[in-house]
Structure 1
Amino acid sequence: MTIRLGANCYGKAECRLVRVDRDGPQHRLTDLTVSTSLAGRLDATHLTGDNTDVLPTDTQKNTVYAFARQGIASIERFGLDLARHFVSGPIEQARVTVEWHPWQRLGEHSFARRGDETRLATVTADAERAWVVGGLTGLVLMNTTDSEFRGFARDRYTTLPEAADRILATAVDARWRFDGLDADWDEAYDTVHAALVDAFTQTYSRSLQQTLYAMGERVLERVPQVAEVRLALPNRHHFLVDLSPFGLDNPGEVYFAADRPYGLIEATVLRDGATPAGLAWEWAGR
């Protein structure tokens, strides 16, 4: 029997980082969670315990904070700078994942945390090139009409009635891969965000799958630098409550919001002829 070491990596997970830019009376707040992961010629540490080529995860954490001192123009650029820094010698590939937690401005130096929506960026680099994957999670959307679900397959276990008019709600988890490194990262994020919201609100939905495709298609139409979009849309079910035991009708007004189980719709929408993904998706987690 032959035993060998397979793919491996290591890094520092979830470094919490808050930077305050104090230029002028109106401060700027950047709240991030940064994770690093390195891979390469690291067999020795696994097989013999020789740590000669192991850059400590504590050093990776310190590097994150040191680079933050130089300023954070965008999370994509910040991730690119870090990933390229780590690729050296035995470290052949580096991945940096950055989560940006938004705060709402209340005054010149006062802020309030803004919901669960989080902006994401995952940057993967080797000695020759780099890939950038943008993303977001926790974007909660709802349409209270213009959604149906009919004509679906049935078998002996099907009990679901057809719905000619239903609530459609989801919490968007999206990743989009850039075809190159020349994007205006902040503008691209704002455009993708708007495209996702517009497509959701403007699409008459006959299935959540149809809505997902419309959202991915809208992103590719509006942001030419994006090669493909991967979306995961949980169907946050809302069930009409039966009020008849209380002598009341319910003309589509009172619902029970179920948290689980839920339908989960996932798909990729991609542009023909785009540069192959390389390591981007393999390391991006989606």
Structure 2
Amino acid sequence: MSVKLGPNRYGKAETRLVRVVRDGPVHHIQDLNVSTSLSGDMEAVHLTGDNAAVLPTDSQKNTVYAFATQHGVGQIEEFALLLARHFVESQPTIHHARVEIDEYAWNRGGPHSFVRDGGEVRTCVVHHDRDGRTTVVSGLKDLVLLNTTGSEFHGYIVDPYTTLRPATDRILATAVAAQWRHARDTDAYGKSYEQVRSCLLEAFADTHSLSLQQTLYAMGERALTTCGEICEVRLAMPNKHHFLVDLSPFGLDNDNEVYYAADRPYGLIEGGVLREDAPDAGFAWE
């Protein structure tokens, strides 16, 4: 039997970076989690332990800190592009770089005082290779949404193990993880982020939902038809079930008022929406 090396990559995961910009008495803060991953001529290190082609993960971490000092951070997509291009263009053995960044928001409490925002996390993933192909994917995660009505679920398959009752009025709640691929370069990632986020929120609120799948598609469709610079949206939406509590044993009515919020198990709905003429991404998004 013969074996061979398969696809591989390595890097430094979750480098924590907090950058403070002091503008006189008023300070500004950016809080990032940066993960780098590189691939290329890595056969020797796997087969014989020869490290000549390997840029240490510690060097990748230090590059993140050095570039934050030398170039600033700005929009996370721009910072990820800067890092990815540097790794590929500075090291002949590195053919592909993947940089993923999560950004945690802070709300201002004073000129130099901040309160951690409990809302969603902004994300991006950038791929760049030696052939000059680049993919920029922006996104968010942990965006918790809930509609108290306007959601139904019925007409589904009923088999011997089905106990779920049809619902014509239910709570619909989820924690959205969304990613959207840019069809072209832009210098307005922040504006694009706010626009897509607004589309997701508006479509979730506006859609009378017969299924979470329908809502997912409506959210992706709204983003694509509104934001011309993106060409594909992928969403993962857990169904955060809310079950009406049976209060009849206590002689009480429960007219869609008191619910039990279950954390697990949960339905997980995932899907993508893309333009028919969307260019090939060139890379897997992961």
Q: State the shift of 1:116 in Å.
A: 4.9
Q: State the shift of 1:24 in Å.
A: 3.1
Secondary structure of the equivalent of 2:139? Answer: strand
Q: Is the 8 A contact 1:131 1:181 kept in 2?
A: no
Question: Which among 149, 155, 162 is matched to residue 166 of structure 2?
Answer: 162
Question: Which among 263, 278, 285 is matched to residue 274 of structure 1?
Answer: 278
What corresponds to 1:141 in structure 2?
A: 145
What corresponds to 1:72 in structure 2?
A: 73
CA distance, structure 1, for counterparts of residue 187 and residue 276 of structure 2 = 19
Q: State the shift of 1:130 in Å.
A: 1.0
Aligned in 2, Cα 1:183/1:274: closer, same or farther, shift over 3 Å?
Answer: farther
The TM-score with structure 2 as length reference comes to 0.97
CA distance, structure 2, for counterparts of residue 49 and residue 166 of structure 1 = 58
One-letter amino acid of the structure 1 residue matched with residue 82 of structure 2: D
Q: Is the 8 A contact 1:36 1:60 kept in 2?
A: yes
Q: Is the 8 A contact 1:131 1:178 kept in 2?
A: yes
What corresponds to 1:197 in structure 2?
A: 201
CA distance, structure 2, for counterparts of residue 124 and residue 214 of structure 1 = 28
Q: State the shift of 1:221 in Å.
A: 1.1
CA distance, structure 1, for counterparts of residue 211 and residue 187 of structure 2 = 33
CA distance, structure 2, for counterparts of residue 56 and residue 242 of structure 1 = 59
Deviations along 1:48-93, whole A, 9 cap, x unmatched? 1111110010000000000111211100000000000000301000
Q: State the shift of 1:25 in Å.
A: 2.5
Q: State the shift of 1:180 in Å.
A: 1.9
CA distance, structure 2, for counterparts of residue 30 and residue 246 of structure 1 = 52
Secondary structure of the equivalent of 1:209? Answer: helix
Deviations along 1:108-154, whole A, 9 cap, x unmatched? 11111111511000000012121101111000000000111111111
Q: State the shift of 1:222 in Å.
A: 1.4
CA distance, structure 1, for counterparts of residue 25 and residue 215 of structure 2 = 44
One-letter amino acid of the structure 2 residue matched with residue 222 of structure 1: T
Question: Which among 86, 89, 93 is matched to residue 92 of structure 2?
Answer: 89
What corresponds to 1:240 in structure 2?
A: 244
Secondary structure of the equivalent of 2:110? Answer: coil
Secondary structure of the equivalent of 1:106? Answer: strand
One-letter amino acid of the structure 2 residue matched with residue 43 of structure 1: E
CA distance, structure 2, for counterparts of residue 108 and residue 214 of structure 1 = 41
One-letter amino acid of the structure 1 residue matched with residue 257 of structure 2: E
One-letter amino acid of the structure 2 residue matched with residue 44 of structure 1: A
What corresponds to 2:12 in structure 1?
A: 12
Q: Is the 8 A contact 1:17 1:34 kept in 2?
A: yes
Q: Is the 8 A contact 2:17 2:32 kept in 1?
A: yes
CA distance, structure 1, for counterparts of residue 40 and residue 100 of structure 2 = 18
Q: Is the 8 A contact 1:173 1:232 kept in 2?
A: yes
Return 204-213 or 178-187, whichever deviates more.
178-187
Question: Which among 215, 218, 222 is matched to residue 219 of structure 2?
Answer: 215
CA distance, structure 1, for counterparts of residue 187 and residue 199 of structure 2 = 17
One-letter amino acid of the structure 2 residue matched with residue 268 of structure 1: G
**Uncovered stretches (5+) of structure 1, i.e. residues with no partner:** none
Identity of aligned residues (%): 59
Q: State the shift of 1:167 in Å.
A: 0.2
What corresponds to 2:103 in structure 1?
A: 100
**Uncovered stretches (5+) of structure 2, i.e. residues with no partner:** none
Secondary structure of the equivalent of 2:170? Answer: coil
Secondary structure of the equivalent of 2:102? Answer: strand
The TM-score with structure 1 as length reference comes to 0.97
Q: How many aligned residue pairs are there? A: 282
CA distance, structure 1, for counterparts of residue 140 and residue 177 of structure 2 = 6
Q: State the shift of 1:183 in Å.
A: 4.7
> Is 1:176–2:180 an aligned residue pair?
yes
